Amino acid sequence: MAVGFDMPLRTPTAARPVAIARGARTNLALLAFLTVAFFTGWLAFAYATTPARWSLVVHAAGGFAILALLPWKSMIARRGIGRPRPRRWASALLGVLVLISLVAGLLHSTGLAVYWGPLTAMDFHVGAAIAAVPLAIWHVAERRIRVRPTDLSRRSILRAGAVIGGAAVAYAASEVIARATGLPGAARRFTGSYEAGSYQPGLMPVSSWMFDAIPTIDRHAWRLTAGGREWSYDELLASDDRLTATLDCTGGFFSTQEWAGARLDRVIGKAEGATVRVVSVTGYNRRFPIDRASSMLLATRFGGQALDPGHGFPARLIVPDGRGFWWVKWVSAIEVDDVPHWAQPPFPLQ
């Protein structure tokens, strides 16, 4: 970020530059909090274990800090929107998207509105945040701000600390209030997700990462390619390894079921390699370190009944402690090779 903080030139009075310098610090703080919120959000999505918890504490504090800056930013925005700058509407749209994201995040966390038809509050929360990214980059690039020594003065740093501390206290208070008033949000898991249909397969939600539609698969025609051979559905159905595990979807729900099928290490047999890649008939796939195979299950059943098409019939992967997007549905092939497990996008692209 370099030159171009040109406002003092247009404001020759002695009083204005002070106000503007304050505006620059607000913008700078906003940039920092938005960046933190965006990355900790994805970090929380990457885990269904403790890193999700501390990511979300930082995330929520960042979100509350952005809320705290809104009065100051709206002063800057009101001042700027009056200027005949091209594409001001894009800044206004950025504002709308960030507000949608903030409101949807709070609706999710309080539990006041978790499901909106086929979509969840989380879908709006993350969707609006992603849509805001190009606008935010453009907004900042077009309005270069110069970081001045005073922006890093003791006073500025103390002020930033006060905003962060205040945001953390506000977040903690919101959690206490949610519990005291019995808001539905009090029941969320450490990932922020809500329980749905546990131990009741018929009530478990059906979800896709992005665009995958439920395929129609004929149980007689279907074959699984794994361990150097082909498996029929009935052959796989004969395996009775069991695992009780919780699917935690980034869409904002979790569901615990008693899964049954074949342990993954039994399915791949003696195949040697560093990683195991589990592939769906739709092409959707995920790769895992081979030493995790014995903790994963290729399930054909849950709660004593066969999987239905929505939940992955004929077979789906169960990944204890892995977010829902690792639980590949409609599995058709399992491959073992030496491609490293990190040589894949951190989140599926389809």
Ligand X SMILES: Nc1nc2c(c(=O)[nH]1)N[C@H]1C(S)=C(S)[C@@H](COP(=O)(O)O)O[C@H]1N2
Binding site for ligand X (CB under 6 A): 204-209, 212, 247, 249, 280, 282, 284, 310-312, 324-325, 327-330
Q: Cβ closer to Mo ion: 251 or 314? A: 251
Given the rule CB under 6 A, which of 28-36, 216-224, 282-290, 323-331 is the region that contacts ligand HEM? 28-36
Q: Does 63 bind ligand HEM (CB under 6 A)?
A: yes
CA separation for the pair 310, 348 (Å, rounded): 19
Quote the least distance from Cβ 185 to Mo ion, whole Å: 20
CA separation for the pair 19, 25 (Å, rounded): 10
Interface positions, 182-241, toward ligand HEM (CB under 6 A): 188, 192
Q: Does 205 bind Mo ion (CB under 5 A)?
A: no
Outline where DSSP puts E strands in the chain: 115-116, 119-120, 194-195, 223-226, 229-232, 241-248, 253-263, 275-280, 285-289, 297-302, 305-306, 316-318, 331-337
Of 209, 190, 199, nearest in space to 48 by CA: 190
What backbone phi and psi angles, to 5 degrees, belong to 27? -60, -40
Quote the least distance from Cβ 249 to Mo ion, whole Å: 3
CA separation for the pair 122, 103 (Å, rounded): 10
Binding residue count for Mo ion, defined by CB under 5 A:
5
Quote the least distance from Cβ 346 to ligand X, whole Å: 13
Of 190, 158, 167, nearest in space to 66 by CA: 167
CA separation for the pair 109, 106 (Å, rounded): 5
Quote the least distance from Cβ 88 to ligand HEM, whole Å: 4
Q: What stretch of H or E contains 173?
A: helix 154-180
Q: Does 109 bind ligand HEM (CB under 6 A)?
A: yes
Given the rule CB under 6 A, which of 138-146, 201-209, 211-219, 295-303 is the region that contacts ligand HEM? 138-146
- DSSP symbols for 200-233: -GGGS----SSSPPPPP--TTT-EEEETTEEEEH
Of 98, 96, 91, 80, nearest in space to 33 by CA: 98
Q: Does 93 bind ligand HEM (CB under 6 A)?
A: no
Q: Does 65 bind ligand HEM (CB under 6 A)?
A: no
Please select the residue that binds Mo ion; options are 224, 324, 327, 330, rule is CB under 5 A: 324
Interface positions, 33-62, toward ligand HEM (CB under 6 A): 34, 37-38, 41-42, 44-45, 56, 59-60
Quote the least distance from Cβ 246 to ligand HEM, whole Å: 16
CA separation for the pair 144, 253 (Å, rounded): 41
CA separation for the pair 143, 85 (Å, rounded): 11
Please enumerate in sequence order all residues whose Cβ is within 8 A of that of 342, keeping only pairs 6 or more positions apart, or say none: none
Q: Cβ closer to ligand X: 29 or 122? A: 122
- Binding interface with ligand HEM (CB under 6 A): 7, 27-28, 30-31, 34, 37-38, 41-42, 44-45, 56, 59-60, 63, 66, 76-77, 79-81, 83, 85, 88, 91-92, 94-95, 98, 101-102, 105-106, 108-109, 125-126, 129, 132, 139-140, 143, 145, 174, 188, 192
